[in-house]
Chains A and B, each alone.
Chain A
Amino acid sequence: MSISFHSPAVRTTNDGVVRRRAVGHDMDLDDGLEGAAESAMKDPTLHVVTPGELITSDTAFMRGHGTYIEQEKVLSSVAGVVDRVNKLISVRPLHTRYTGEIGDVVVGRITEVAQKRWKVDLNARLDGILMLSSVNLPGGVQRRKQESDELQMRTFFMEGDLVVAEVQNFFADGAYSIHTRSLKYGKLRNGSFISVSPGLVQRSKSHFHSLSCGVDVILGLNGYIWVSAHVSQDLEEIDTEQVYSNKNKEDITPADRESIARIANCIRALAQNFVFINATIISFAYEASLQYPLKDMHKKEVMRDIAVEATTAVDNMRG
């Protein structure tokens, strides 16, 4: 048995490094935000505001997300960090739910089976909708939906199942319509689930990664992440009947489990230290984590060290 008790600590300078890194990355990525980057550079202590707080009384500015105007002053409507792009002022909230775009890869959990559709928790304001017509039914891609399928929706997905899918459309009320009409989408197996803040998952070309340590990672843009044992990616060979299976593969070894746990803990460490998450940094974090025993990885200090080391490694790589 092991347990450790600690007193709480104030944020150390180390944290500061990590946090500024995160902001820096954001700027690197998006050229359109150069103004904001500039302002962040000018004022390294971020401008943090709370709801109702005055941002500026200069009438020249325009009101963006997370702000409102009262008596010609721009006030914050959320708790967050002020972003300025030219004359546009907006506030990035500290905590946010997922706001997506068409084409995003997301991981979700089925919460309800309704008539001809599933409701899916996507970490967004509203549950997403997966229509029966938006899934591949067993028996081939070309198989058409039948009336009997409507009566046995639970044989495909039932409450609690995890799926990886793509955002297909928006409904009028802002709910996302998602689809799994590709063999890379569908039910998730062989691993474990992590939830991080949706803002931390970086948009990239691919969200399906097979890491060198034999672990597959699906980085859902909604902050839901699936870490699992590696399965061969030969899509042609996947039997459509198996798409809806609930069975994990038999040969997950203890070593696989350790690697999965290690990767999952690395992602938690990065998320806890507000570092953007992508396949590269996960690999570096994994390298950095190898010096610690697996069971120590839930310790706060260890997590911070891993995050710092991983960010430094990424910086070094970029020169």
Chain B
Amino acid sequence: MTSVADAVVPGQRLGHVQEFNAGVGTYSHQNFLYASVVGVKQITTISSDELPVLSVQRENTQSAMPDIDAIVTCKVVRVNPRFAAVNIMVVDGKPCTDDFQGIIRVQDVRATEKDKVKIYNSFRPGDIVRAQVISLGDARSYYLSTAANELGVIFGTSVAGGSLVPISWQEMQCTKTKAIEPRKCAKPM
């Protein structure tokens, strides 16, 4: 890997499209590559028969926002038989400045036996859930899915106020009262 470290700002011309491929933080316009963010210019050579990739390592990361396929951490705010409404707080490990709204529709809770899913037996308000964005959704909410082993509730509080620990992929136990509550749990990674 060869690299030339150099600080650049948006709009700065970095090279010709015949010399480089556009990487992250850059864009091409009329045969030239320009920086689109503030950061440090990097040139990565992948193989000899391909053009080196020109990218800009961001200095300040943009405030996190959900994108399709991103893994998000969110808090359940409301449930009804059709979906659970959540506030998306963290996207791909980066906290959002302001929470985005999302919903987990009943058909997206788990991958199998979708007809048997009851939202109330999967999520309760206050639960912290790990989910994946499947669509930009409608005007208001992103659509999320928990249909994978590692997705689901990662932290919850029981009716009695104790914290819950998962005992199976669909049950959690209160640390105070040992009462068992149903949830769609995430398998720890």
Contacts and interface: CB of A to CB of B under 8 A. Distances in A.
Nearest to B105: A115
B138 interface: yes
Nearest to B143: A151
B138 A151 contact: no
A225 B134 CA distance: 38
A152 B68 CA distance: 12
Place the interface of chain B in its size category. under 10
B69 to A, nearest CB: 12
B157 interface: no
A276 to B, nearest CB: 40
B107 interface: yes
A115 B138 contact: yes
A112 to B, nearest CB: 8
B107 A151 contact: no
Q: Say what secondary structure dominates the interface of chain B.
A: strand
Nearest to A115: B138
A237 interface: no
B114 to A, nearest CB: 9
Contact of B138 (A114, A147, A152): A114
Contact of B134 (A113, A114, A151): A151
B107 A147 contact: yes
Contacts of B44: none
A310 B14 CA distance: 63
A151 to B, nearest CB: 4
Nearest to A151: B135
Contacts of B107: 147
Interface in A79-117: 113-115
Q: Which of A114, A151, A152 has the most CB of B within 10 A?
A: A151
A127 to B, nearest CB: 15
List 4 tightest A-B contacts by C-beta distance, closest first.
A151-B135, A151-B134, A151-B143, A114-B138
8 contacts: A113-B138, A114-B138, A115-B138, A147-B107, A151-B134, A151-B135, A151-B143, A152-B135
Given A114-B138, A115-B138, A151-B134, 5 more contacts: A113-B138, A147-B107, A151-B135, A151-B143, A152-B135
